[in-house]
């Protein structure tokens, strides 16, 4: 968070989270050549690229895209909803993997075996909608010892859980997690992702 980042958003998603803020990415989009996307990134002169969706791992072309970006010298982040196996993701890609909470309505989508494919620089993210979600996420962090795999992030669902409330809970409980805020929405409003 806080670093300039070039976004490549792929269309299509297999989940229907209650708080989804990218419904427009569920369908549509335009077909692009991998080389054209890499050229667009190069023209941006931003070293960090985030491949996101929808769910980017639903598209077979995402794997050669990530490889091509890495080969071209990019630092690559992949944001995924955790419902697709991570075993084909290039090791150098920083994986930001959601663990869907009960408040999302999609908590059964998480593939726990994805923990095998995480490195210390990767991130597991919980988007929280309520105190119930927070307590559920805390129990998952403890039960699975998630901090032993990678960084764990707690994020407040936009316009659902006040970020200051979540921050207070984390501090009060001394949870060993990183607080995450959708900084682009704070700075430029919620329409900036479109």
pLDDT greater than 80 at residue 184:
no
Supply the mean pLDDT for the chain.
Answer: 90
**Could you tell me what percent of the chain has a pLDDT over 70?**
91
Q: Write the pLDDT tens digit of every residue in 6-20.
A: 999 999 888 877 777
Residue 185 CA to its chain's centroid (Å): 15
Contact 170, 176 (CB under 8 A): no
Query: Which top CATH class is 6-193?
Result: alpha beta
Residue 181: predicted pLDDT: 77
What's the pLDDT score for residue 20?
Answer: 74
pLDDT tens across 111-122, in order? 899 999 999 999
pLDDT of residue 76: 98
Residue 25 structure tokens: 């990415």
The single residue listed with the structure tokens 């307590």 is 135
pLDDT band with cut points at 50, 70 and 90 for residue 191: low
Strand positions, DSSP E, the chain: 6-9, 48-52, 75-80, 94-98, 123-128, 151-156, 178-180
Alpha carbons 81 and 114: distance in angstroms, whole number: 11
Give the model confidence (pLDDT) of 98-137 as tens digits. Answer: 999 999 988 999 889 999 999 999 999 999 999 999 999 9
């Amino acid at each position: 968070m806080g670093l300039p980042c070039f976004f490549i958003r792929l269309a299509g998603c297999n989940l229907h989270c209650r708080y989804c803020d990218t419904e427009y990415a569920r369908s549509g989009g335009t077909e692009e050549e991998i080389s054209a996307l890499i050229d667009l990134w190069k023209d941006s002169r931003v070293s960090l690229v985030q491949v996101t969706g929808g769910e980017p791992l639903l598209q077979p072309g995402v794997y050669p895209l990530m490889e091509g970006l890495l080969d071209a010298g990019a630092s690559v982040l992949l944001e995924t909803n955790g419902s697709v196996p991570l075993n084909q993701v290039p090791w150098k890609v920083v994986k930001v993997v959601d663990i869907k909470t009960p408040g999302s309505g999609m908590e059964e989508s998480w593939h726990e075996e994805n923990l095998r494919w995480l490195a210390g620089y990767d991130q597991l993210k919980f988007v929280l909608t309520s105190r119930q979600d927070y307590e559920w996420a805390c129990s998952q962090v403890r039960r699975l010892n998630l901090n032993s795999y990678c960084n764990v992030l707690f994020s407040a669902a936009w316009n659902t859980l006040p970020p200051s409330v979540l921050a207070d809970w984390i501090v009060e409980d001394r949870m060993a997690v990183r607080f995450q805020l959708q900084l682009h929405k704070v700075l430029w409003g919620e329409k900036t992702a479109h």
